[in-house]
Amino acid sequence: MQTLSQTRRRGGFTLLELVIATVLLSLMLGTMGLVQMRARDASRVGMAREQVETTCRRSLDRVADELQGVVRGLLFPDPSTSLGTSTITYQHPTGVSTAGVVSWDTPSSLSLELDAGEIDNGIDDDGDGLIDERRLVLTRNVGSPNAVTTVICSGIPELGEGEVANGLDDNGNGVVDEAGFNVRKVGDLLTVRLTVQGPAEGGQIISSTLSTSIVLHN
């Protein structure tokens, strides 16, 4: 003959079993939620990285197009030192007369400037997650009333990736204290390096560094 307690035990869960099942279900759901959150964060970081890399690549391509055909004798300042330069003024040839005289366009420049709203003070003044970031500015008709400026990209750090302001070539690419945008000439080869940064999930900073070289004309 079955007792009442035996009947209840076989007929359903005890209170303890329900508590254990609830705890296990909560743990399972919590683990799934944590996995989903991490996957979402990783996806956002991946998207941020792709955006920064795309910006860096497109900006460097724009600079390379801008410097194609430049004559090495019309670069100012001369970027041949180990420091290179983060500001360069240049001219392109526009034609040759029947007498063999070369004509030139008006000077243009590429310069690294503090981004709008930023002060060089080690603080994120504009609240975008980057500190003391710069922007690369293209100026046409330098020195004339008709000068026109265009921002090629922003989010450029003061120093290139791997560099520290210590008078050394920290990242081993031949440039000392290399800026986030740097132009250096060795012989007839003009090398341009660009680092672009962007904020990502969890306070991370994504960096992308690319370089390209342009052959200068005599």
Radius of gyration (C-alpha) of the chain in whole angstroms:
29
What is the token pair recorded at 3?
Answer: 């007792």
State yes or no: pLDDT of 26 exceeds 90.
Answer: no
Q: What is the pTM (predicted TM-score) of this model?
A: 0.79
Q: What are phi and psi of 51, to 5 degrees?
A: -65, -45
Rounded-to-integer distance, Cα 181 and Cα 206, Å: 16
> pLDDT band for position 10 (50/70/90)?
low
Over 70: is that where the pLDDT of 2 sits? no
Whole-number pLDDT of residue 117: 92
Confidence bin at 43 (pLDDT 50/70/90): low
- Alpha carbon dihedral 152, 60, 43, 115, in 10-degree steps, equals -30
Please report where in the chains the tokens 């520290």 appear, as a residue. Answer: 164
Angle at 196 between CA 49 and CA 157, to 5 degrees: 130
Under 8 Å CB-to-CB from 85, ≥6 apart: which residues?
77, 79, 182, 183, 184
**For the segment 64-84, what is each residue's pLDDT rounded down to a tens digit?**
999 998 888 889 999 999 999
**In the predicted model, is pLDDT for residue 87 greater than 90?**
yes
Here the tokens at position 118 are 């930023």
Q: Does 31 have pLDDT greater than 90?
A: no
- What is the rounded average pLDDT for all residues in the chain? 87
Cα of first residue to Cα of last residue in the chain, in angstroms, is 110
- DSSP labels, 14-27: -HHHHHHHHHHHHH
Helix and strand element counts for the chain (H, E): 2, 9
Task: Specify the amino acid at residue 69.
Answer: G
Over residues 97-112, the pLDDT tens digits come to 888 787 888 999 999 9
Q: What is the pLDDT of residue 100?
A: 77
Largest CA distance in the chain: 124
pLDDT at 13: 64
- Taking the C-alpha atoms of residue 115 and residue 95, their distance in angstroms, rounded to an integer, is 36
C-beta separation of 106 from 144 below 8 A: yes
Confidence of residue 54 (pLDDT cuts 50, 70, 90): very high
The pLDDT tens digits for 158-169 are 999 999 999 999
